[in-house]
Amino acid sequence: MNETYQRAMLNSYFKAYQPRLDYWNQIKNHAVKLADERLSAKRITQHKKQISEILSALAHSEQYWGFPGVARYQKLRQLFEKGDYPEF
């Protein structure tokens, strides 16, 4: 292996948190939009679908992280599933 390839492999290894951070930022962005009462039903459905998919993707790995933690993740999931979007 050449040095550039090794460095790239190490960088991807040490940045394992980045996809998770991206997911949480996407959830935040969709949640802000979802709380906007002026959205059309179509847009609400789109944001709900995106959030649901991201929460499902995080479900398996979130137990390995200290923050926000499994309890908070589950609370967010419950708020979302209840449709309490402003609180979510």
- pLDDT value at residue 43: 94
**What's the predicted TM-score (pTM) here?**
0.76
Structure tokens at 83: 């449709």
Burial of 41: CB neighbours in 10 Å, binned 0-12, 13-18, 19+? exposed
Asked if residue 10 has pLDDT above 70, the reply is no
Look at residue 6 and give its three-state secondary structure.
Answer: helix
Query: pLDDT digit string (tens) for 23-75?
Result: 999 999 999 998 887 889 999 999 999 999 999 999 988 888 888 888 999 99
- Could you tell me if residue 71 is left (phi over 0), alpha (psi between -120 and 50 degrees) or otherwise beta? alpha
pLDDT at 9: 54
**Residue extents of the structural domains in the chain:** 3-82
Q: 40 φ, ψ to 5°?
A: -75, 160
Residue 8: pLDDT above 60? no
